[in-house]
Amino acid sequence: MNKSFLIKIVEQLLIISSLQLLFSVYFKSAVIPSFFLIWLFILTWDGNTEVALMLSFITGIIYDIISRGALGTTSIRFLAIVYITGFLRIKGTAGRFICAAFFSLIFFLSFLFEPGKGFLWDTWPLIKYSGIFVIYNGLMLILLELSIRRYRWKWKKDYLGIS
Amino acid sequence: MIWFFRREIIFVMGILFSLFIMGKSKHVNVKSTENANKVEEKLNYEELVAENIRLRNILGIKEKESYFSRFAVGNVLSLRPHVFPVEIVISKGAAQGIREGMSVVSMDLSLVGRVSEVQKNTSKVVTVFNTMSRVSVIVDSTNEVGIMEGGSVPYCLLKYISRESKIKKGDSVQTSGYSDFHPKGIKVGEIVEVVKAQDSLFFDIHIKPYSCVSQMEEVLIGE
């Protein structure tokens, strides 16, 4: 892992953490998109699964602090999702959107599932709020992917001297 | 060989670290209750002032409402999930006299839920949003008794109120005192919707709980 890559990752972590914090404070909605999860998906699909796994632990802890959850629980969820996603090689935006939506659904439902008791919300609210979460995450994935692609293209253009 | 399984190694190590942090945070919670003064020193000034105001309010409540003077004050340590929590963890446990089934109320004396599991210095609380929650309540305007069930967030469902009832939107609801868990007269919420379900002898009534669980910092626990 070279120095510039590490700096880039730390930069992105700061931006994503700020976005997550800002949304959790100012976004007037019952459900807030998980920027960390989306970012981990993007890192994994870019072939940085090992880095994404390491960051799953860190971002999980930050997520638990922001959302006042029990420390460590989200890390386990992130690690499991990233590990599975690491085996899926998805190139197209549509495929990525579907995959992100599916795992976002699993992520959301995992908070409300109690072994032996089932889901701790009724079916309709469960569908409604998990649906909102999935849509938010899908939209954020597209937005983040587009902005990262644009950033990469700008970097390539500057590096190769394309006018 | 190790390099070939690097992903699995990182995954397992991450899980182990997470489990360690989970165990450690419980330990910290226990410690924080025991050494509250030490923790307070670390908080910044504004946080201290805000906490002071909140605790003074609780003290005011406890002085005004003699019934609640027997209640213990606990901090909310964690929520699950963040939105419409079904379960919260509070900083009071068996060592502080907390027992299973005790009522938990918010600072404005509205019902939050009941204690479901007690550890030495922490307790789990099942909130009114949980599908496992059943509370016997009474409607203030009509004095009718029904059962309030959780699960249908953002509201709770009031059952077994006859279709003949004069119940209406805006009526307030409080605990009836008929259940084993909650004493009579704790504010619960306000009726926001009355639905005449087809082929049913009862109304489907939605109640908006007064307590905003996800914003809570402290709670009162007692019976």
- Per-residue confidence (pLDDT) for residue B39, from 0 to 100: 47
A126, B78, B153, B202 from B161: Cα distances, Å: 25, 35, 20, 5
In this prediction, what percent of chain A has a pLDDT beyond 90? Answer: 51
Chain A residues with CB under 8 Å of B22 CB are 70-73
A124, B85, B114 from B89: Cα distances, Å: 26, 11, 11
Q: Could A122 and B84 be called an inter-chain contact, meaning their C-beta atoms sit closer than 8 Å? A: no
Q: In terms of CA atoms, which chain A residue is nearest residue B22?
A: A72
Instruction: List strand residue ranges (DSSP E) for B61-186, in order.
Output: 72-80, 87-90, 103-105, 111-118, 123-127, 134-139, 145-149, 156-159, 172-175
Distance from CA of B203 to the nearest CA of A (A): 18
- Per-residue confidence (pLDDT) for residue B215, from 0 to 100: 76
> pLDDT tens for residues A87-129?
988 888 888 889 999 999 999 999 988 888 888 888 888 999 9
* DSSP SS3 for B122: coil
From the list A76, A108, A117, which residue is nearest B18 (CB)? A76
Mention every residue, 6+ apart, whose C-beta is less than 8 A from residue B184.
B174, B175, B176, B177
Q: In terms of CA atoms, which chain B residue is nearest residue A44?
A: B7
Q: Could B22 and A32 be called an inter-chain contact, meaning their C-beta atoms sit closer than 8 Å? A: no
Tell me the C-alpha distance between B178 and A14, whole Å.
53
Q: Is the pLDDT of residue A142 over 70?
A: yes
Which comes out higher in pLDDT, residue A1 or B176?
A: B176
Nearest to B23 by CA among A76, A140, A114, A36: A76
Average pLDDT over residues A46-54: 91
Number of residues written out for chain A: 163
Chain B, residues 83-112, CB within 8 A of chain A, namely: 83-84, 86-87, 89
Average pLDDT over residues B185-207: 88
Chain A residues with CB under 8 Å of B79 CB are 67-69
Across the A:B interface, residue pairs with CB atoms under 8 Å apart total: 104
pTM value? 0.81
Q: Is the pLDDT of residue B170 over 80?
A: yes
Tell me the C-alpha distance between B109 and B204, whole Å.
26
Q: Is the pLDDT of residue B59 over 90?
A: no
Distance from CA of A153 to the nearest CA of B (A): 29
Distance from CA of B86 to the nearest CA of A (A): 7
Q: In terms of CA atoms, which chain B residue is nearest residue A133?
A: B83
